[in-house]
A and B are shown apart, each in its own frame.
Chain A
Amino acid sequence: MTTDALQRTPLYERHVAAGARVVPFAGWEMPVSYAGIREEHMAVRERVGVFDVSHMGEVETSGPDAERFLQRILSNDVTKIADSGAQYSVLCREDGGILDDLFTYKLAENRYLTVTNASNHEKDLAWFREQSQGFDVEVGDRLHDWAMLAVQGPDARALVARLADGELPKRFRTAELTVAGAPGVLVCGTGYTGEDGVELLVPPDHAVAVWDALLEGGADPIGLGARDTLRLEVCFHLYGNDMDESRNAIEAGLGWCCKEDTGFIGADAVSDARAAGTPEVLVPFALTGKGIARQGNELTGGGVVTSGTLLPCLGIGIGMAYVPRERSEPGTPIEIDVRGKTRPAELRTKPLYEKGT
């Protein structure tokens, strides 16, 4: 990653004015925290927070073959997406390696919007275009046509509902609404925190108005630091940490979003991995003593940590790791080499955090 030519979201000035710690992330200048990661984490768990995730990319696929084309490249069954629905899937290479994980929203019959990870957007776009040969589809780069705000927490829906001109979509559904006076906002019943809430795809010119209205309505601004602790607590995968092109969906625990009978690119490899079992599988863990395991820390006897942090509320080190399949049962004790110190930990079940615990 280079530090020159970093991109800024429409909310950059707002982040600076709010005193955010701004860092380079996947080619963007993004806020990592405002009030502090712990405080922001708790704001989302207990009230409502808003995240600027405008660095995430969007690809629009339209045309007579749009559904048939997406069925070919996305791992899930695209024909099962309801009108105004949303679906999670992975994008696979022929050998099953994961190119990205994605949410796809059905905007209309044969018109879809797919949200990409910032670090993968150009790669995904190139892959979409390359694979679209022979399909009657148009693949459009919509990165600069949408700002994206995630509003998450137990009070998130009530807050957005007060600002919107219509009924909010249910979970995994979308609705085009006017929000805080901004027309054409795609409100999506999705998120990355384990809390109820919505994600808002906002025309960039209106991003500041929507952001300001959300803060005035009581949302705390939340940075990427708390986004990471929140998602890890509920064991949501982060591309580049928990999976990449060297891992397939089965070992990453994403077999649930792979429907091999659709014949998607990589389906044969996924099918083989599902049948044979993979040497390693991704599992959550918690340290039983002090310390914090980090990405790249190795496990005694094989395996590697892919994500690790300290639970902001409980002060417990948690994370996810690839471990040998034969030693992947919840409750299995493990040892993690944390920069030369052996730290005891235990495999857990997903999620590491549940409401009310």
Chain B
Amino acid sequence: MADASYPDDLKYHAEHDWARIDGDSATLGITWYAQDSLGEIVFFDPPAVGATVTKDESYAEVESVKAVSDVIAPLSGEVVEVNAGLSDAPEQVNEDPYGEGWLVKIRMSDPSEAEQLMDADAYREQLG
């Protein structure tokens, strides 16, 4: 597993999720801290393409060998793509949480919500 990192180009939600915003689209995932706390991810149960996700609410589950964890949406919108690669290689979430381990892409329904998210410095500060 890589060392702790929180890229500066991402936005962060207090429930340890990140968003990479590109116009009215966003790619979502869980942070290094989240994957490290969970341990080895063995299963990702994605939402359906076309499903609606709501900011601050659970939209998927990730499971480690020992535990299940809800994934909280940092932003609201419609799922336009899910990371199909995780069905065979869920450990990508551990190995590359901001790259190959992304979870879903959404079309944002309210891009202004992004203003409520933290930047990397604020998130690092929250982690202490």
A21 touches B39 (CB 8 A): yes
Chain B: CB-nearest residue to A39: B40
Once the chains bind, are B40 and A292 in contact (CB under 8 Å)? no
CB-CB contacts below 8 Å: A301-353 with B = 309-310, 312, 315, 339, 341
What's the count of A-B pairs with C-beta under 8 Å? 41
Q: Which of A225, A290, A339, A341 contacts B66 (CB 8 A)?
A: A225
| Residue of B45, B65, B87 touching A225 (CB-CB under 8 A) | B65
A294 to B42, CA, bound (A): 14
A32 CA / B61 CA spacing, docked (Å) = 22
Answer yes or no: B51 CB below 8 A from chain A CBs: no
Q: By the criterion CB–CB under 8 Å, are B39 and A225 in contact?
A: yes
Cβ contact within 8 Å between A33 and B68? no
Tally of contact residues, A, Cβ under 8 A = 19
Determine if A204 is an interface residue (Cβ-Cβ < 8 Å): no
Q: Are A38 and B39 in contact (CB under 8 A)?
A: no
Q: Is A203 an interface residue (CB 8 A)?
A: no
Q: Is the CB of B68 within 8 A of A339?
A: yes
The interface centre, meaning the residue of B42, B43, B65, B66 with most chain A CB atoms within 10 A of its CB, is B65
Known contacts A21-B39, A292-B42, A315-B42; A38 and B65 CB within 8 A of each other: yes
In the assembled complex, B63 has its CB within 8 A of some CB on chain A? yes
Which label, helix, strand, loop or mixed, suits the secondary structure of the B interface?
strand
A36 at the interface (CB under 8 A from B): yes
Give Cα distance in the complex from A229 to B68, angstroms. 16
Assess whether A291 is in contact with B45, with CB atoms less than 8 Å apart: yes
Report B1-60 residues with CB < 8 Å from chain A CB. 39-40, 42-43, 45
Q: How far is the CA of A291 from the CA of B62 in the complex (A)?
A: 10
A residues within 8 A CB of B63?
A: 292, 310
Contact A310 to B39, CB < 8 A, known contacts A225-B65, A292-B63: no
Most chain B CB neighbours (cut-off 10 Å) among A21, A38, A310, A339: A310
- Contact partner of B65 (CB less than 8 A), chosen from A37, A290, A291, is A37
Among B39, B42, B87: residue with most chain A CB under 10 A? B42
A38 to B94, CA, bound (A): 13
A-to-B contact residues, CB < 8 Å: 21, 32-33, 36-38, 225, 228-229, 290-292, 294, 309-310, 312, 315, 339, 341
Identify the B interface with A (CB < 8 A): 39-40, 42-43, 45, 61, 63, 65-66, 68, 87
